[in-house]
Chains A and B, each alone.
Chain A
Amino acid sequence: MKLWIAFWNILHKDMRTYYLKPPNISWGLIFPLAWTGMFFIKSGSALGSIQTLLPGVVAISILFGTTSMLAVTVTFEKKNRSFERLLLAPIPLEVLMLAKTGGAILFGVANAFVPVVMAVFLIDLSQVAWGAFIPAVFLIAVASTFLGLFIAVAVSEVFEAQTFSNFFRFPMIFLCGLFFPVEKLPVFLKPISYALPLTYGADVLHGAVHGGHAMPFSLDLALLSAFCVGLFVVSLHNIRRRWIV
C-alpha cells in the first residue's frame, strides 16, 4: 500500500507538472500533426490515403511524445537535482522508474488517439481491429518510453536528450515501416528495421487498420514486449551504474 501511494504520487505529479511543457507540446503534438499534414498533402489529399497513413501517424505521435516527455521528467530532474529526492525515497528502483515512466506511457497513449479522433471525422474506422490496435498502441508507448529512458539516462542535459533522441527517432520513421513498407527497403537496411521495436508495433497497427501486416499479431506483440523488458532492464542497470556511483 505504501509503495502504491509513492507510485501514484510520482506519476500524478509528473502528469500535472510536465504534460504541458513546451518540448512535449512541440515534439509530442505539433510535430506529428505536421508530418501527418505533409503526407496527406503528398498523397493528393485523397481521403482513402488516410487509412494507410493513420498507423504511421499514430506510431510517430507515440514515439515523439514519449521520448520528449522522458527528456523532461528524467534528464531535467536529474540536472536540477530533484531526482535525488526520489533516489533517497524508500522505494525499489524498479518501482520508482515505473512510476517515472508511467506518466510518459499514458501521454504516449493519449497522443496516439489524437490522430485517431481526427480520422473519425474523415473516414470510416468501423473495420479497425481494436483488439489488436489498442494493445499495440500500449506496447509501442511502453517501448518508446523505455527507449526514451535509455536515452535520458545516457545524457546530462535536456537539449542533449532531445538531440540524442532524434538520432533514433528520425531513422525509425523511415526504417520501421511507418509510411514505407519494410519489404521495400534495400536488403542491407532490413536487418536494422528488424532490430527496432517500432517495426513490430507498426506492423500490428497496419494490420489492425487496413489488414496489411507481414507477421502474426501474436509474434509482433511478443517481440515488442521483449523489447520493452530489455530496454527497461538495461536502463535500470545504467541508472545504478551512472547515478548511484
Chain B
Amino acid sequence: MIDTIAVAGLRKCFAEVEAVSEISFSVRQGELFGFLGPNGAGKTTTINMLTGLARPDSGTICIGGIDCTGKPRAAQYLVGVVPDESNLYPELTGFDNLCFCAALHGLRKAERQARARELIDIFDLTKAAHRKFGGYSRGMKRRLTIAAGIIHKPEILFLDEPTTGIDVASARQLRHLIADLHRAGTTIFLTTHYIEEAERLCDRIAFIVSGRIVRIDTVDNLVQPMQVKNVVQLTCENALTDIEARLSESFPDLKFNDIGKGLIRVEGDAPIRVGPLVRFLEDQGGEVSEARRMRPSLEDVFVRITGIEADAMRKEKEKAGGGQ
C-alpha cells in the first residue's frame, strides 16, 4: 500500500517546551489513522505541522508524494482540515460559509452551490442552511465545520477532536459520517481522546504521550498481547441452580463464574468451543440467548502502555472543551 502521509523525526518546540519530540509514522492510502493521547500530548501541534499551520524545527513531512519539508503549504490542495474548534464565519449563513470554503479551493459558482446543498442535506442542516453560523448549536457547528473540510472532496482529511463537546446523538451521527467518508476511500487522520471512538473507527492507532509516540499498531495487534486468557460470557434467560458446579464437573479444563442474572463467565487457557457449552446448558433446562467472546478493550491497552487512566483523560478534556 502507498503511504499518503510519511513523517520522519518530526520535532517542534515552543520556547523551552518540546511539544513534539522526533516522531515518525506513516499513514497508508485510504486508511483511517487514529492519533490518541491526552491533552497537551502534541496532537494538534502535529496536525498543524502536517497542514502547514506550523513549521517543524526538524524532521521531514511528505504528503501525497509531495515533500513539504521547508514548504509547509505545498500540499494544501490535497487536504481538508477540520480543526478542534469551529472556525467558520459567524456572520455568514451555513450555506454561504460552505460556498465560501468551496471558492477558496477554486470551485466555480454553480459547482460550489450544488456541493454546498448536497453536504447540507447529508449533514442534516437543511432547515438551518440560511441561518447565521453564529446562532448554530455546538453539534450543528461541528457538522458544518466537517462539511466545510470536505467541500472540495480532499484526498486526505485531518479531523482534530471531531466529537469533543457535542451531545451523544450528534457525536454518533458524526461517527457514521466519518465511517462513510472512510468507506468512500478518503484517507483520514483522526485525533481523539475518546478511546472507544478510536477503537470503533480506526484501522491503526498511534498513542502519543508528552510529544512522543509510544506505540503504533492495528487495534487487534494492540489488544492481542493483553489477551492472556480466553473469555466467553453466556446469557441464560432462566436461572439455573448450582449451575457453576455442574459445569465445572463436566468441563474440568474451564473455569466458570455464575455472575448472576443468568450471566455465566467462562475462562480457559485454550480457545473455548461454545457449542458444547450451549448444548450442555440446554440439556440442563437453560434457555441460552447469547454467547459472547470477551476481549480486552483498547482502553485497557492504553492504560497499560501509557499509565494514564482513560477516564481521567476524558474528564480533563471535557473540563476544557465541554462534555460529549
Interface residues of A (CB under 8 A from B): 1-3, 5-6, 8-10, 13, 17, 80-82, 84-91, 93, 244-245
Interface SS, B side: loop
- Cβ-defined contact, B76 with A89, below 8 A: yes
- Cβ-defined contact, B89 with A88, below 8 A: no
B side interface size, CB within 8 A: 29
- A6 partner residues in chain B, CB cutoff 8 A: 103-106
Report the number of A-B residue pairs with Cβ-Cβ less than 8 Å: 69
- A13 partner residues in chain B, CB cutoff 8 A: 89, 92, 100
Q: Is the C-beta of B52 less than 8 angstroms from some C-beta in chain A?
A: yes
Q: Is the C-beta of B87 less than 8 angstroms from some C-beta in chain A?
A: yes
- Cβ-defined contact, A5 with B87, below 8 A: no
- Cβ-defined contact, B107 with A5, below 8 A: yes
- B76 partner residues in chain A, CB cutoff 8 A: 88-90
Contacts A9-B100, A87-B73, A244-B55 known; 14 new A-B pairs at CB < 8 A? A2-B105, A5-B108, A6-B103, A13-B92, A17-B89, A84-B53, A86-B104, A87-B52, A87-B53, A88-B53, A88-B76, A89-B76, A90-B73, A245-B54
Q: Which of B77-85, B214-222, B268-276, B281-289 contacts its partner?
A: B77-85
- Cβ-defined contact, B104 with A89, below 8 A: yes
Complex alpha-carbon distance, A5 and B72, angstroms: 23
- Cβ-defined contact, B53 with A3, below 8 A: no
Residue on A nearest B101 in the bound complex, by CB: A85
- A88 partner residues in chain B, CB cutoff 8 A: 51-53, 76, 79, 81
B residues 36-69 near A (Cβ < 8 Å) are 51-55
Q: How far is the CB of B107 from chain A (nearest CB, A)?
A: 7
- B89 partner residues in chain A, CB cutoff 8 A: 13, 17, 82
Complex alpha-carbon distance, A17 and B83, angstroms: 23
Complex alpha-carbon distance, A9 and B151, angstroms: 16
With contact pairs A3-B106, A89-B76, A89-B104 given, residues A80 and B55 touching in the complex (Cβ less than 8 Å): no
- Cβ-defined contact, B92 with A85, below 8 A: no
- Cβ-defined contact, A81 with B92, below 8 A: no
- Cβ-defined contact, B92 with A244, below 8 A: no
Q: List 30 A-B contacts (CB under 8 A).
A: A2-B106, A3-B106, A5-B103, A6-B103, A8-B103, A9-B100, A10-B104, A13-B100, A17-B89, A17-B91, A17-B92, A81-B83, A82-B87, A82-B88, A82-B89, A84-B53, A85-B88, A85-B101, A85-B148, A87-B52, A87-B73, A88-B52, A88-B79, A89-B76, A90-B76, A90-B106, A244-B53, A244-B54, A244-B55, A245-B54
